[in-house]
Amino acid sequence: MKVLLIGSGGREHALAWKLAQSPRLTQLYAAPGNPGMAAVAECVDLDPNHVEAIVAFARDENVGLVVVGPEAPLVAGLADQLIADGVLVFGPTAAAARLEGSKGFTKDLCARTGIPTAAYQRFTDLAAARAALPRYGLPVVVKADGLAAGKGVVVAETTDQAEAALTDMLAQPGAEVVIEQFLVGEEASFFALADGRSAIAFGTAQDHKRVGDGDVGPNTGGMGAYSPASIVTPAIAERVMAEIIRPTVDALAADGTPYSGVLFAGLMLTAEGPQLIEYNCRFGDPEAQVLMMRLDGDLLPVLLAVAEGRLGDAAARFDDKAALTVVMAADGYPGTPAKGGAIDGIAAAEATGARVFQAGTALADGRLVANGGRVLAVTATGDSVTAAREAAYRGVDAIDFPTGFCRRDIGWREVEREGGR
Ligand code: AMP
Ligand code: GLY
């Protein structure tokens, strides 16, 4: 079977690496892909957001399955167009992708189905929003509606900060915000596959969103991650499936907008139990890198079962080993990253047993250089998160990337739980 993978990040390199191992695969295309993915896929110069060109390519090349990595093409309706043209796709329709595309949509769905989540209200009017603030106490969370690439959330410690966030987010005509109660607990990422009707759990992870060691500094897309998240015990995972994932899949099916693809739930594990912070309609980046390292067996039939609506036949098994990934970013990230810096030592890093997934890389005169914010995800497995971390940093230390940096403390929560430092 021919597969077309949409995207060019470390998440997509990890998916490509795993798909390439499938005996059922005859050809893997990546659009647009990156130099790392070129080792396992044929990169085609298509813009992920150019829906018509992707649909035409899939049809012309007789692609059996399109796997969509990033959220923007899904929210824009790429899956709808592929389905309309009779092409199988792993990823939700635009109506179902509203789970990520609209925070207000997801909060309303939680409210009417009783899914545990922070108390909230939606506002389009600044005066009404300001008047509601005292009900929530401090800190209070203010979120812009719509895709914001992780930048639309302000956890305000003071009323002044909350009011400034509201003023900023409601400045555009037609803008909407959600004000919500601040939840106390530890965050974890929970993945599930859904085929429109049924859902299965598909692994857990924790990531590090802040740019600096000790979880300080500005938010990023994620500077590292590990899997599994031991804090999501089997009992908690059962509750997440029963109280959050299945009610969501059931509600969307009942609404006539069934959810098919991966559901990535951002959870807060509170004293009262798991609560939903947000949904994403795609795999996490860099969470996909650690999940793919641990997934046993063939990924392709599982994704195909999701796309064909027969997930009931499929099973997913993850290795007992832990996996950890360290993101190497270009200097300046998450601001303007330095472009063009040379990268050497990938083969040396892989010789240590680590696997290097590429994200913002490019070839310049045959040389691998940085070409984005997050550049590499150096990933390894081990019998514990502590062991996986040591192995991942052995890989990092073999890489020569003078204009890049990484955090040195990825996995610290789990390493502490395992008794290390
Ligand atoms: P989101 O984009 O909705 O995932 O929010 C980004 C980050 O803001 C989350 O990863 C949390 O760290 C934090 N956050 C969002 N909502 C809440 C909440 N209700 N209570 C506490 N922290 C939150
Ligand atoms: N690492 C978080 C995300 O992919 O949204």
pLDDT digits (tens, 9 = 90+) for 177-197: 999 999 999 999 999 999 999
The structure's pTM equals 0.95
Indicate whether 36 pLDDT > 60. yes
pLDDT of residue 172: 83
Ligand 2: atom nearest CA of 286 is 1
pLDDT average, residue stretch 110-137? 96
pLDDT average, residue stretch 348-355? 98
Token pair belonging to 184 = 């106390």
pLDDT band, residue 97 (cuts 50/70/90) = very high
Residues with CB under 6 A from ligand 2: 207, 221-222, 280, 284-285, 287
Query: What is the residue with the minimal CA distance to atom 4 of ligand 1?
Result: 278
Query: In whole numbers, what is the pLDDT of the chain averaged over residues?
Result: 96
Question: Residue 402 and residue 115: Cα distance in Å, rounded?
Answer: 47
Distance 287 CA to ligand 2 centre (A): 7
pLDDT average, residue stretch 377-390? 98
CATH of 119-181 among 3.40.50.970, 3.30.1490.20, 3.90.1150.10, 2.30.29.30 = 3.30.1490.20
**Which of 208, 211, 264 maximizes ligand 2 atoms within 8 Å of its Cβ, making it the mutation to test the pocket?**
264
Indicate whether 40 pLDDT > 60. yes
pLDDT of residue 149: 47
Closest CA to 176 of 106, 256, 78: 106
pLDDT of residue 148: 58
CATH fold for the domain made of 2-90: Rossmann fold (3.40.50)
3-state class (DSSP) for residue 310: coil
Question: Residue 257 and residue 98: Cα distance in Å, rounded?
Answer: 10
DSSP string, 230-297: TTS-HHHHHHHIIIIIHHHHHHHHHTT---EEEEEEEEEEETTEEEEEEEESS--TTHHHHHHHHEES
User: Residue 393 class from Cβ within 10 Å (0-12 exposed, 13-18 middle, 19+ buried)?
Assistant: buried
Residues 4/16, Cβ–Cβ less than 8 Å: no
Domain ranges of the chain: 2-90, 119-181, 186-318, 322-417
Ligand 1: atom nearest CA of 117 is 19
Indicate whether 273 pLDDT > 60. yes
CATH class in words for 186-318: alpha beta
For the chain, give the percent of residues with pLDDT over 70: 98
Which helix (H) or strand (E) is 413 found in, with range?
helix 412-417
Which residues, 6+ apart, have CB-to-CB distance to 264 below 8 Å? 189, 190, 191, 279, 280, 281, 282, 283, 284, 287
pLDDT average, residue stretch 84-95? 98
pLDDT band, residue 147 (cuts 50/70/90) = low
Question: Is 266 touching ligand 1 by the criterion CB < 6 Å?
Answer: yes
**CA separation (Å) from 381 to 207, 291, 292?**
16, 11, 11
Token pair belonging to 388 = 């996986």
Ligand 1: atom nearest CA of 150 is 2
Q: For residue range 205-239, list pLDDT tens digits in order.
A: 999 999 999 999 998 999 999 999 999 999 999 99
Distance 161 CA to ligand 1 centre (A): 16
CATH second-level architecture of 322-417? Alpha-Beta Complex (3.90)
Question: Residue 118 and residue 365: Cα distance in Å, rounded?
Answer: 52
